[in-house]
Structure 1
């Protein structure tokens, strides 16, 4: 069982990472060891579905239903596989059969609604071959769905992707032969909520009955007699309840004693291990907490415990490693918990740890001495005119010491030589953001803006440099040149408009209906200007248009 579970977890991880071949391989090996395990067939069906191998997905789904006819997930798998193969009527029958077993299952309800809609669309539109939907590249709604989904939006810019869609439009029966992974994303978007590839499965747990809304006060329900329990389980339960009371009172030593007695009476229940681990966690005995959780997981696996309890134990191990600042192990166990039972809380914990690990790696990489070495290599290459290679060394230097403004300034110089002015400007902005008194950064920014023909912003940059050093000749010359350029542009209104409208900020202001109305008021009633200038946001926009030369105040 341990080997089977290990293969299953490995397959789940591969499936989550879109490594479908690896997932199929793991599930197949696990099935060879445990051929009666319906969960493994269900998971492999998901992997086949994501690989666009719908016939194989259907075979495994049918095997799942055969092995576990009272498990709703098998019907969901089979129904979606049939839908993707275009066998819509059979898909409807399958979903209906699943709902007879589990009437409140949302996956089955959603799947049934989808395939019924597919059938209705097929009837109205003349069908779509084996796809179960209308694959028509001339249909605006078809392209609208793909263009408005973040997964498929970029695909439409690829001629090979469009070629694949045209093939399917001509011959939908080829759907099972195309191995392009983007086909899965496309069909998921177009069909909607069909459950073709939810990664992980567990044994079926019946859903709780829906709660009735209380319309009037009702007497308290009569306490149902508890089912007869073996004496050892009854004694274990009593000890657990005593342990819970002690835990609430923070009497941890008593809680430990009671939970240990509960384990002695019933060593097959994972709950007692989890509760004991919780006490150790509160006592900050994190190694003991981990050890107890691992024993609990082993016990739970042997006795087919609820997957949520096993997930809970994995989560607690992850939290213990997090407290120990062992981020790598914390990540491993949060991922294991996710493979058992996916919840938003665990996903958040995993994201937090990954973020910490990334930041730790970044900090560990910082080394000012090595940054200086890389900078010198970059300087030598810059002098030799090998600007592209110099950029690589300056970039490495920045990674080694990201708070040194000179490194960004040097890389900006390389970008300027390579005519990558937007990247150079970005580095200059970072440079002066790190050190607003670094005069070389302002001057370099001014020169780049001059080349980009934005003399207004360039003049501002040179002015910043002159505020730091009024006698800096490079800044003085740059400022004068910007003034001459602005005067020259002033003689040509069309040039003013062209330059101004190339500025995204100006474009946004001019598209704003409120600003257009304000400008119209100012033209008809100059006194309105004073009122509008009292609003800081509007004043900033008006000054921007003044600097750009689009408006003038007389």
Structure 2
């Protein structure tokens, strides 16, 4: 590799990293080291200047590019983009037109031409043709100094003063004075992007130094220069236009399009073989298509065949090659997204979940796709599950339980919660961890979290009566009386079903407490008012109207001891306890 080529490679590298100042430095060295003038190097440096919005220098390099090679359409795209940035719409239009004459299929020239036409139409739609906004630009004088067509005029202090006067007070300026000065006419034409083909009234004035600092000229320009070489996201139009950095020789020297039809035919044959599951033969045809014409679709297809064949390492290399070539080939972002997605799928097949997530995410950055998004989320969930499973250790869970118990006994509730959380992580199937943490959370008055932990404990072990009782206590603290009674009723049934019933007394006491609080007198309420309110409670009314309960209550009046027998029925017991709590049934 020659020294010029080495400098060029360095420039390309810095350009890809958006380090445009360094890119300019290396392209300049490449130009100086080149034995013969190289139009690609000037094009690359022009693109770097465009990225920095240094349109004046970008134009100089672009014009040098087409001077060296006047048959290269991309060079005229460069010239057009620089003129567009300077607000020279007519010149930009001429250069885009020239590019299309050389290459009628040049998509970026077509798109650039439309951008120019839209900018002109937008300007002409304004009553003052946009001049008001142009003259209000605080950088007006600086921009005019940087435009080759008006730079000389800015050396006349009197003319500059006229412009400043008009800028500060347009109403006080005599229009005849403005229109009578051909230089001002030329200035306004430049600001409007027009070419009046007027002779320079001060042609004898020497050309200003090209070392003057360039700034962006806002002559009713759109927010950025038009895209010249590839469609990209709108938020970076200047940079994206300048992405046309030639990493290889110009298209005229490598007429790849001549083999496009032959390459597509090879691809079609490869697709046929792929469907027949003849993957080795399909790979050969995709490789042939790639060698004939550089289109990363062929690489993506080759990677798909390698994936189905089970050669995952080869598939990864093919995808990486496709991604590496994509920017140079100006590939559509959707196709690039497929390359990243296939990489993610391949790593997923290799059970390398972290790399799969990495490339699924990159694919979504290029193009949003619902299937890839679902795969990304599914893979992320699987990573969390595996990490959690890898953390499981029953012995360490027991250590955390004992530590939590020690903190709890000392009244150190926060550290108890922390220890029990560690127990849950180490053994998520042990219901005790959730129940114990619920007890500590209740001490911290975090009752909703305590209820949630109790629900998890019950889910892990439906016969864990202590979890029901702790849940009921937390619900009682939140005055959710109906929920308390439902929880305790379920706990009582479970306890009796186990054949032990050792927790029944505690459950009934808590039930009665909840019921009592539910029906207790409101402040300022007389006993008669309380009884009247309770008697209208829908649940109490339903119990009293139940024919079965009417019979039981009638029997109890004659034989109070019979009520104890009926209490063995869980449903009857629930209703009788409700009536006792409401004061309908009084006990001694």
> TM-score, structure 1 length as denominator?
0.50
Structure showing greater Rg: 2
